[in-house]
Amino acid sequence: MSADFAVGFGAGGDSADPLDFAKEALSRVSQIAVDLGARKKLCFAGCLAAELLIARKALEAADVSQLPKLQRRVPKLLDDLERVCVWPYNPEPYNATLRSLAGSKGKGTDERVRQGILSFSKSSPKIIEQYFQKLERFSKQVVQLPDENLRGGEKAKQLAKDIKEYPAHVYANLYAVLKSHSLCTCRTGHSSGFERHQARLRLRNELSEVDGHVAFDMLFSASPASLDHWQNLQLHVSLRNKTAKAVKFGDEPDPLSCLKRPAKTRVVKPEEFCGLIKTKWASRICCRVQDSELHQLYDGLPLVENVDSGPSKSLRRLLEIGRLSNRMKMVLAFIVARSFWQYYDSPWMDSPWSSDSIHFLPELVVEDEHDQPSVALYASKPYFAVQFLQHAGESVEYCSAFGVVYRYPRLLALCIILLEIGRGQSLTTEDHGSVEANLNANWTLAKRLTNKNRTWGDFDYPHYRQAILGCLNYNYSKQAGASIETNVFARKAAVYEAVLQPLEKLVNELGFAENMNIMDPIDASQGPGRIADVPAPPAMPMRNSAVDQTSQWLNDLNAINRYFHKRCPLASVPSPRVAILDTGFDEEGVFFSVPGRRQKVKGWKDFAADSELPVDDNGHGSHCTALIMKVAPHATIYVARIAKDRGSLRNAAQAIADAIDWAAHEVKADIVSMSFGFKDEVPVITQAITRAMLERHGKIIFLAAASNSGGNRREMFPANLDSVISIRETNTLGAFSDTNPPVDPDGPAVLGTLGRDVPSAWLSSVEGEVAKSGSSVATAIAAGIAAMMITIMSIGMADTTVQISPDTKKLWTKRGMRNAMARMSFDMGNRSYYISPAGFFSGKGAEKAWAAIADACTR
């Protein structure tokens, strides 16, 4: 450090390195501000701490070439900081307070600085804004952080706009007033009591100001139950709190010295709010939050968006039906991150932020006055689906429990949203029963997917992923000491520094910041985008009513499972063992990456190529394995790869026989799923099945696919064996497909279940699920139903308050299981029976269901 630079801080300075002194002063004042924010719940203090830490980081990144600028700028930075620390008194010469603070001289220095920050927080908003702008200019313009990724040593571009923070009362006052007004008072006679009008808060890249007020745009449904009309409101909240006093900072004029004539308003009482939003004004209604009241302004504003009636669409749903361009993804991610930071320490965080709570409203677009309007969704216009909760704090901000890897649920929620946007695919997470387990599992999943290159497709922006990782790697206790781990302002600062600033920088460098709100509508005609460098997988049918009905059919099974799982701790119930003989499974797929699911796969054996690690080159095995796990979540899964694809199946006879031996003897499987078939009998396979039945004394259940060749071929082998349950394909209504083999008039009645348009996992190179049809799909579902029934009966047998016949154990045999499936089936004619668990369990309590299954097993 040069002598000239040292003298630049003025006479009376000590011999310490001036740059080190500046960094130490920034750190000490930041620590005091964080502590003050935690004690007083003071948003300003948290923001101050964040800005000071950013300034310190800028100093740490400075090199020798920047010394001339530092010589001019750092003294001014310290002078302003000294003034804040002793506010409202005149600063002492040579930054005496900061030097005492940095050198730990004087026991009362910390308290004096604390009082100075507290006093400064009560000064006028304009003065506070000016100081923050100076801090930001210092960090962003004077000490530019190096960017090693720019060619030719070119410096990083400056951010186009400063991100502005507003006082905490702005968000809190708006939330409190709307919470009281959103209760619907015109439906008090309804049986459910008071309901709330649905509310959508527009998320923007930048909030606007109107006459000293912050403007918020919101939509309210005209009725809690009906969405035939959305009323557009613009709500103004004063920047100046009622008790704030204006204090001059330096030579700056008082910005509020000239008061405007008050606007004409009328008070809207909570019981009058219904009438306000029910009226179709065809304009934006302007209201002002004032003294805990809502005042409607005299003038309205023109509508900017022509929002269509009907429900809004969640981000999760949008990622399923639409394809977002890279610009859409980047802009949406920035707007969500910016809004998340803006509202972080406010009541607007009381309800969780996720891809289920980020919504989009359809807009009516008319290209020509003679054309019919079309409906469009825009990625640059997200909304937050507000839930005005009765009790605050529903969304945990910090987890203090033992054994937690990552303690910040809100930060994790933001990371998952950004992960979903970047990958163009919603993330499915499981409930592990506790906040601690969910935090650990979801953090592990998010970090793994962020680091996984091939699932990002052409959205190849390393800095975007680094922003997510920076947030996922955040640990305040390692940065500032464990005493302030629970400080919400520190987390808000982390969002700003680790996520928001890098995203804004990236948006500007890519040229996406200009005309951010001018964007083409989302293309929902192609579905989610595919990964460009991976061969196209089998085409998935367009989302249609058949696929939706199939998903609902599977959801009904989930409801049945949840009902019975509540009856008894599953830890005391043995898991049924299901062996799946197929093309393997891709453990890198999205379905299997969900925490807890991969652990359910307890065994793997490759009889096709001796791979020690799970693999699936075809997708069929992954599809069937995931289906069984969906239908029977408590089952333990064992996968045997018996062929690489359909073409190699004809040469897989010995592999199949070996797999049957493995399933019967090593795995001790209760159920064996065989979603394949041969035109003629294969003796080696027959022998393996017979051997398994004999050695297991009949206590093993084989299921196999009947055929997909319709009347052109009889029932395939091994489905036509007496020791195997043959399964046919139906749709969700039980109609048997014409691709099933003909029913043998001299043979037994046939069983079928859902196998048409069933979505499930595929290879990891495919975004989302793939819908497939056929008796092989129905066989997987039937195997899942068999495992589901065993679990349900095991729960009943573990319940000491219930008497169940010992003959129920016959359910573990082919005959007992087939009889039980027949009992829960509907006769569809032509001696064909449709297995319908929902139809069987509907209207039955647990005791009746157990009795019916037990009775069927004994026949």
Residues 104 and 185 in one domain: no
Given a cut of 60, whether residue 190 has pLDDT beyond it is no
CB neighbourhood size of 432 (10 A): 15
Of 529, 555, 583, which one is at a domain's C-terminal end? 529
Residues 593 and 467 in one domain: no
* Mean model confidence pLDDT for the chain: 82
Q: Is 139 exposed, middle or buried (0-12, 13-18, 19+ CB in 10 A)?
A: buried
* pLDDT value, residue 784: 97
Element at 332 (helix H, strand E): helix 326-342
Higher pLDDT: 707 or 547? It is: 707
Residue 317 falls inside a structural domain:
no
* pLDDT value, residue 804: 84
Q: Report the number of distinct structural domains present in the chain.
A: 4
Residue 159 falls inside a structural domain:
no
Provide the token pair at 656.
């199949």
- pLDDT-derived band of residue 90, with 50, 70 and 90 as boundaries? confident
Of 529, 558, 578, which one is at a domain's C-terminal end? 529
Average pLDDT over residues 423-436: 84
* pLDDT value, residue 373: 66
Query: 107 to each of 25, 113, 114, 558, how far by Cα in Å?
Result: 16, 11, 13, 63
For residues 768 and 541, is the Cβ–Cβ distance under 8 A?
A: no
- pLDDT-derived band of residue 752, with 50, 70 and 90 as boundaries? very high
Of 484, 500, 529, which one is at a domain's C-terminal end? 529
Given a cut of 60, whether residue 148 has pLDDT beyond it is no
Taking the C-alpha atoms of residue 516 and residue 532, their distance in angstroms, rounded to an integer, is: 26
Given a cut of 90, whether residue 397 has pLDDT beyond it is no
Given a cut of 70, whether residue 416 has pLDDT beyond it is yes
Residues 137 and 175 in one domain: no
Q: Is 410 exposed, middle or buried (0-12, 13-18, 19+ CB in 10 A)?
A: buried
Residues 181 and 329 in one domain: no
Residue 276 falls inside a structural domain:
yes
Residue 183 falls inside a structural domain:
yes
Residues 99 and 219 in one domain: no
Higher pLDDT: 14 or 654? It is: 654
| Edge-to-edge order in the sheet of strand 825-827 | 601-606, 636-641, 577-582, 671-674, 701-705, 724-730, 750-754, 832-835, 825-827
Given a cut of 90, whether residue 475 has pLDDT beyond it is no
Nearest to 144 by CA among 48, 79, 69: 69
Taking the C-alpha atoms of residue 128 and residue 132, their distance in angstroms, rounded to an integer, is: 6
Given a cut of 80, whether residue 17 has pLDDT beyond it is no
Show the domain range for 209.
Answer: 164-247+261-304
Residues 168 and 119 in one domain: no
Taking the C-alpha atoms of residue 461 and residue 422, their distance in angstroms, rounded to an integer, is: 9
Element at 558 (helix H, strand E): helix 545-565
Q: What percent of the chain has pLDDT over 90?
A: 39
Residue 313 falls inside a structural domain:
no
Taking the C-alpha atoms of residue 274 and residue 197, their distance in angstroms, rounded to an integer, is: 8
* pLDDT value, residue 713: 80
Average pLDDT over residues 105-130: 81
Residues 588 and 517 in one domain: no
Given a cut of 80, whether residue 97 has pLDDT beyond it is yes
Provide the token pair at 646.
């359909």
Residue 379 falls inside a structural domain:
no
* pLDDT value, residue 74: 84
- pLDDT-derived band of residue 107, with 50, 70 and 90 as boundaries? low
The residues carrying an active-site annotation are 582, 620, 776
CATH number at residue 600: 3.40.50.200
For residues 762 and 826, is the Cβ–Cβ distance under 8 A?
A: no
Residues 508 and 477 in one domain: yes
* pLDDT value, residue 482: 38
For helices 501-509 and 462-472, what crossing angle results, to 10°? Answer: 180
Given a cut of 90, whether residue 215 has pLDDT beyond it is yes
Average pLDDT over residues 536-557: 66
Average pLDDT over residues 411-417: 95
Taking the C-alpha atoms of residue 363 and residue 373, their distance in angstroms, rounded to an integer, is: 9
Residues 116 and 218 in one domain: no
Q: Residue 64 region, left (φ>0) first, then alpha (ψ -120 to 50), else beta?
A: alpha
* pLDDT value, residue 212: 86
Kindly report, residue by residue over 432-472, the tens digit of the pLDDT: 778 889 899 999 999 999 988 777 877 878 889 999 998 99
Element at 169 (helix H, strand E): helix 168-181
* Three-state DSSP state, 136: helix
Residue 127 falls inside a structural domain:
yes
Kindly report, residue by residue over 337-372, the tens digit of the pLDDT: 999 999 998 889 988 999 999 999 988 876 555 556
Given a cut of 60, whether residue 598 has pLDDT beyond it is yes
Residues 463 and 369 in one domain: yes
pTM: 0.48
For residues 528 and 808, is the Cβ–Cβ distance under 8 A?
A: no
Kindly report, residue by residue over 282-333, the tens digit of the pLDDT: 889 999 998 889 999 988 888 888 888 888 889 998 888 778 888 899 999 9
Residue with tokens 């910090």: 398
Residues 408 and 477 in one domain: yes
Cross-strand pairs, 363: 307, 376
> What is the secondary structure of 204-269 as a DSSP string?
-SS-EEETTEEEEEEEEESSSS--S-EEEEEEEEESS-TT------TTPPPTTSSPPPPPPEEEE-
Residues 618 and 730 in one domain: yes
Residue 837 falls inside a structural domain:
yes
